[in-house]
Amino acid sequence: MSANREDRVDFVVNAAGRRVPTIVNGQPARPYAGVGAPAPDGPKHGPPIRSAADYPENGDKRVPDLKTALERCGLRDGMTISTHHHLRNGDRIAVAALQAAAELGARDLRWLPSASFPCHEPVVDLMESGVVHHIEGSMNGPLGAYCSHGHMRGLGVLRSHGGRWQAIQDGEVHVDIAVIAAPTADPFGNADGSHGPSACGSLGFALADSIYADHVIVVTDNTVPFPCVPWQIQGNNVDFVVEVDSIGDPAKIVSGTTRITRSPDRLLIAEYVARFLRDAGIMRDGFSFQAGAGGIALAFVGYIRQMMIDAGVKARFVRGGSTSYLVDLLNEGLTDYILDGQTFDLAGVRSIGEDSRHLPTSPFTSYNYHGKGNFASMVDAVVLGATEVDVNFNANVVTHSDGMLLHGIGGWQNCLFSRCTILALPSFRDRIPVILDEVTTLTGPGERVDGIVTERGVAVNPRRTDLLEALEASDLPIRPIEEIKAEVELLVGGPPAKPRLEDEPVAVIKWVDGTVIDTVWKVPQPTESG
Amino acid sequence: MSASGRGEAGRAGDDVRGDLHVAVELADAGGLDVQLTSRVKSLYGASIEQTARATLAGLEVEHARIRIDDKGAVPFVIAARVEAAALRAGAAPGGDGKPERTVPDREHSTRNRLRRSRLYLPGDQPKLQLNAGLHRPDGVILDLEDSVHANEKDAARLVVRNALRCVDFGNAERMVRINQLPRGLEDLDAIIPERPDLVLIPKTETANQVAEVDARIRETLGEPADGDPPIWIMPIVETALGVENAFQIAAASPAVVALTIGLEDYTADLGVQKTLEGDESLYARGRLVNAARAAGVQAIDSVFGDVGDEEGLREWAGRSRGLGFEGMGCIHPRQIRPIHEAFAPSATEIEKALRIVAAFEEAEARGLGVVSLGTRMVDPPVVLRAQRLVHVARQAGLIEEPGS
């Protein structure tokens, strides 16, 4: 299945002007062809037909341990094993599954996490020892460094949450074995994330794998007798259930409290974003918005909340990353619903478990681009971050300005389809300007970015003449993006030097439709100063 | 130059951002050997080295070993730290290590401009200075006094001097709080050529101290050309003696535009507790307002110390306005808006003042000696107060100008 990264591949220049490989890990890859390019023909991918005759009639699919489960799933060299990040940095199951595979002697596995975290650092050793061939999923910290410096044998593939669903559904990635960590499950494999000692909220990230994988293993530390309700994962898709002492560290799964930023600059940015929504007329009765759990996004929710109260309007729905701040809106009657993709704090977990107006969603309902529409495009405004933007409103969320992998795409690309996409970011970090002539790594095309809000002012995409017109009477500091860029460069001593990158790909960035929008290049190992 | 001294400056440590640590070791030969570690090395390594070399060239240091541990500092900070380290190592003073000026020239502030909020910025913490103007205080104070450790006075002076050349504080009035005299006079030598708008003199107790500062400024700059405003002075009264001399202090120089009070030191001098209500300083503050008025300058209140207590701040500021103060100090950007709101005349006040001013103008136009509003006669002082209120409201942007 996987060719080595060193294999010669051809490059083409895609519709965004980026040089991308045409073969990724031995499979042909389509270059990005622009927003809204036609989908490939053909049916969706299908898992093999199974028979109830092969599963216990009493519904008890429990096996003693992960090793047994993997063995009975027919684990072989070169298979794809998927895991999910709803336990975030508290996850104990991904590493346990890969280590169990290692004990069974498997090699050259493709690991398909929905995202990786610092707790997954042991996978570096598994790559070194040949058990894992490469990672297709977000990489940061030690894994990001391993990939960025060119140590991984295959190309990393970074996909959005919606893009991961699309890739699995379209058959671009065939999942051999999905390992799903479940805060609560019954012996049949029905599983839920909103209850149990390791409760995390929504299990949406694991849904595609449960439907399309050849084999599905549910791992839980909280078995309940059938039926486990609600069942976010259907036991009818599950092969085996494994009971363990603990699937994760609750303290690292959700934070006790999520905290608003205290930085005056970031608070100013958050306030500008809220005023943008208000002044542009987006904040009106029945509107909707999405904001994540970053410091600026949380502060934004605080400001928009007050503006909603002052104006006497409420939202029809808000989308999270849910936090106590969104839960407060729900409890105060300022929104009818929370549509939740990922639950960040205890208040969020409690709410999704108890309040029927707080609904778990999945990348399918929210984000999948190869579906009959999705929720993301129906959201009136979304507040996102970015590492870099450029004067054409293109944005980078995956690499640092020095080229190192820093961050996954998450739902970021998918959210660009909202009616008004706002990137809220400081105009410089340390000394590094955020607005460049050209982003280091293209993650989202500028035509889908409507506003860039910094502490120095608000740049509105000139394509959005409607927004510019709506904001004419606003006293927000609306400025051309070039002007903000020039002001920052004056302060920080000019634009940064282009990072020195080697002409060797280490990863590709997929667009929401599975095409390759950009390539991540090898970063030379740092040398000692001289 | 023959030297082998060693000097360090700046900040080191994992939590440092936007600053750097520099060690300079002067040598007799070998040129400049720059060793750099930086979190932004691949992006700005060459630029950092160039800034260091240019600064040392300006100081006429030709041979030295320089070790830089940079945490994403902007160029003017790098220049200030390199200069401080070199001077501490024994480089000859009198060189020119100043970075190129990048802030646009702007008009000097006017005598009676709004001074509702003035944001204190520790002189030795450049990171806090970079975006301070974006929070739109009426003034920023680059502080060389209490917020700077005694061992860092020389380094802070360089940071502040460079900030005045390289940081755009927007429409904020650019103020510097110098150290107590006589050290403050040395501060002036470094700062005044950069033409800040205003100098704050801490712990002022006599008119003489104001005159001393005034003279040193004139010495450095020469007499201002006709029509050019001088560098303004705001004495800070912080002792019982200062309060007794408040009028003489306020009247000591035509450059004095405002008089302010420091309550931490004042209450310490009195030996009383500083309270949330401020009864213990009521006399001093009332006396200060009166002295300022008598001398024709603005009276500005102290700071409110609890950044987290917005309600307390609003109450304090409201009482402060009631006493006759026109503004306060801020120790955090989040205090700016509550202060602006508290010192703003209310809509009712503005409306009433506008009616009085209109009635006055109408009476003037018709050659009437008596101004009347409806059936009531309006006394001249009432007109004066209304005019002043309208002036303040206009500066604060609270009155919609016709045609704007």
pLDDT tens profile A219-241: 999 999 999 999 999 999 999 99
Separation between Cα atoms, residue B335 and residue B302, nearest integer Å:
13
Is the pLDDT at A255 greater than 80, yes or no?
Answer: no
CATH code at position B151: 3.20.20.60
Tell me, yes or no, if A529 comes closer than 8 A to chain B by beta carbon.
yes
Amino acid at the residue A193: G
Q: What is the DSSP letter of A444?
A: B
Contact A496 B40 (CB under 8 A): yes
pLDDT tens column, A53-100: 999 999 999 999 999 999 999 999 999 999 999 999 999 999 999 999
Residue A101 lies in a domain: yes
Separation between Cα atoms, residue B263 and residue A241, nearest integer Å:
69
Is the pLDDT at B157 greater than 60, yes or no?
Answer: yes
Cα–Cα distances (Å) from B173 to B107, B117, B232, B321, in that order, read 10, 10, 10, 21
pLDDT of residue B369: 78
Average pLDDT over residues A193-211: 94
Question: Does residue A414 share a domain with residue A322?
Answer: yes
Amino acid at the residue A14: N
Question: Does residue B186 share a domain with residue B85?
Answer: no
Question: Does residue A195 share a domain with residue A125?
Answer: yes
Question: Does residue B264 share a domain with residue B228?
Answer: yes
CATH code at position A185: 3.40.1080.10
pLDDT tens column, A449-493: 999 999 999 999 999 999 999 999 999 999 999 999 999 999 999
Question: Does residue B251 share a domain with residue B165?
Answer: yes
Question: Does residue B211 share a domain with residue B140?
Answer: yes
pLDDT of residue A254: 78
Question: Does residue B307 share a domain with residue B197?
Answer: yes
- Check: CB of residue B142 under 8 Å from CB of residue B156: no
Most confident of A43-47, B297-301, B347-351: B297-301
Residue B108 lies in a domain: no
Query: What is the count of residue pairs from A and B with beta carbons less than 8 Å apart?
Result: 73
Residue B106 lies in a domain: no
Q: Percent of chain A at pLDDT above 90?
A: 89
Question: Does residue B253 share a domain with residue B324?
Answer: yes
Q: In which domain, by residue range, is B355 found?
A: 347-395
Tell me, yes or no, if B18 comes closer than 8 A to chain A by beta carbon.
yes
Amino acid at the residue A116: S
Question: Does residue A225 share a domain with residue A304?
Answer: no
Question: Does residue A274 share a domain with residue A245?
Answer: no
User: B40 vs chain A: nearest CA distance in angstroms?
Assistant: 8
Question: Does residue A337 share a domain with residue A219?
Answer: no
Question: Does residue A321 share a domain with residue A461?
Answer: yes
Q: Percent of chain B at pLDDT above 70?
A: 98
Last residue of a domain, one of A227, A253, A279: A253
* ipTM score for this prediction: 0.90
Question: Does residue A279 share a domain with residue A340?
Answer: yes
Per-residue H/E/C for A295-341? HHHHHHHHHHHHHHHHHCCCEEEEEEEECHHHHHHHHCCCEEEEEEE
Question: Does residue A332 share a domain with residue A234?
Answer: no
Question: Does residue A270 share a domain with residue A355?
Answer: yes
Residue B109 lies in a domain: no
Is the pLDDT at A48 greater than 60, yes or no?
Answer: yes
pLDDT tens column, B86-138: 999 999 988 899 999 999 888 889 998 999 999 999 999 999 999 999 999 99
Residues of B in contact with A456 (CB under 8 A): 131, 134
Contact B334 A264 (CB under 8 A): yes
Question: Does residue B377 share a domain with residue B256?
Answer: no
Tell me, yes or no, if B171 comes closer than 8 A to chain A by beta carbon.
no
| Chain mean pLDDT for chain A | 94
Question: Does residue A483 share a domain with residue A386?
Answer: yes
Residue B44 lies in a domain: yes
Look-up: residue for tokens 């083409």?
A12
Question: Does residue B299 share a domain with residue B376?
Answer: no
Question: Does residue A280 share a domain with residue A225?
Answer: no
Question: Does residue A242 share a domain with residue A117?
Answer: yes
Mean pLDDT check: name the lowest of A261-270, B27-36, B384-393: B384-393
Is the pLDDT at A4 greater than 70, yes or no?
Answer: no
Give the model's confidence band at A3: pLDDT under 50 very low, under 70 low, under 90 confident, else very high. very low
pLDDT tens column, B300-336: 999 999 999 999 999 999 999 999 999 999 999 999 9
pLDDT of residue A257: 66
Residue A510 lies in a domain: no
- Count of domains for chain B: 3
Out of B43, B51, B131, the one facing A455 most closely (by C-beta) is B131
Is the pLDDT at B2 greater than 70, yes or no?
Answer: no
Residue A506 lies in a domain: no
User: B160 vs chain A: nearest CA distance in angstroms?
Assistant: 15
Look-up: residue for tokens 């917005």?
B310
Is the pLDDT at A527 greater than 80, yes or no?
Answer: no
Out of B17, B42, B168, the one facing A499 most closely (by C-beta) is B42
Nearest chain B residue to A526, by CA: B42
- Report DSSP letters for A271-286, one per residue: HHHHHHHHHTT-S-TT
pTM of the model: 0.93
A402-420 burial: b if 16+ Cβ within 10 Å, else e = bbbbbbbbbbbbbbbbbeb
Q: What is the DSSP letter of B255?
A: T
Question: Does residue B167 share a domain with residue B72?
Answer: no
Contact A493 B51 (CB under 8 A): yes
Residue A54 lies in a domain: no
Average pLDDT over residues B8-33: 95
Nearest chain B residue to A525, by CA: B42
Is the pLDDT at B3 greater than 70, yes or no?
Answer: no
CB atoms within 10 A of CB B379: 11
Is the pLDDT at B270 greater than 80, yes or no?
Answer: yes
pLDDT of residue B108: 87
Tell me, yes or no, if B20 comes closer than 8 A to chain A by beta carbon.
no
pLDDT tens column, A388-414: 999 999 999 999 999 999 999 999 999
Q: Percent of chain B at pLDDT above 90?
A: 79
Separation between Cα atoms, residue B317 and residue B304, nearest integer Å:
9
Last residue of a domain, one of A253, A275, A293: A253
- Check: CB of residue A456 under 8 Å from CB of residue A487: yes
Contact A493 B40 (CB under 8 A): no
Is the pLDDT at A1 greater than 60, yes or no?
Answer: no
- Count of domains for chain A: 2
Q: In which domain, by residue range, is A377 found?
A: 264-500
Question: Does residue B141 share a domain with residue B160?
Answer: yes
Separation between Cα atoms, residue B90 and residue B2, nearest integer Å:
10
Separation between Cα atoms, residue A187 and residue B221, nearest integer Å:
86
Out of B35, B72, B73, the one facing A529 most closely (by C-beta) is B35
pLDDT tens column, A89-118: 999 999 999 999 999 999 999 999 999 999
Is the pLDDT at A2 greater than 50, yes or no?
Answer: no
Q: Which neighbouring-strand residues pair with B25? A: B6, B65
Residues of B in contact with A432 (CB under 8 A): 40, 43-44, 72
Question: Does residue B178 share a domain with residue B132?
Answer: yes
Question: Does residue B318 share a domain with residue B177?
Answer: yes
User: B245 vs chain A: nearest CA distance in angstroms?
Assistant: 38
pLDDT tens column, A146-165: 999 999 999 999 999 999 99
Out of B17, B45, B47, the one facing A430 most closely (by C-beta) is B17
Best A266, A401, A430, A527 member to test B by mutation, with max B CBs in 10 Å, is A430
Residue B95 lies in a domain: no
For residue A178, give every residue at least 6 positions away whose Cβ sits within 8 Å of its Cβ, in sequence order, or none: A81, A82, A83, A206, A209, A210, A213, A215, A216, A217
| Chain mean pLDDT for chain B | 93
Residue B24: is it exposed, middle or buried by C-beta count within 10 angstroms (0-12/13-18/19+)? buried
User: B107 vs chain A: nearest CA distance in angstroms?
Assistant: 19
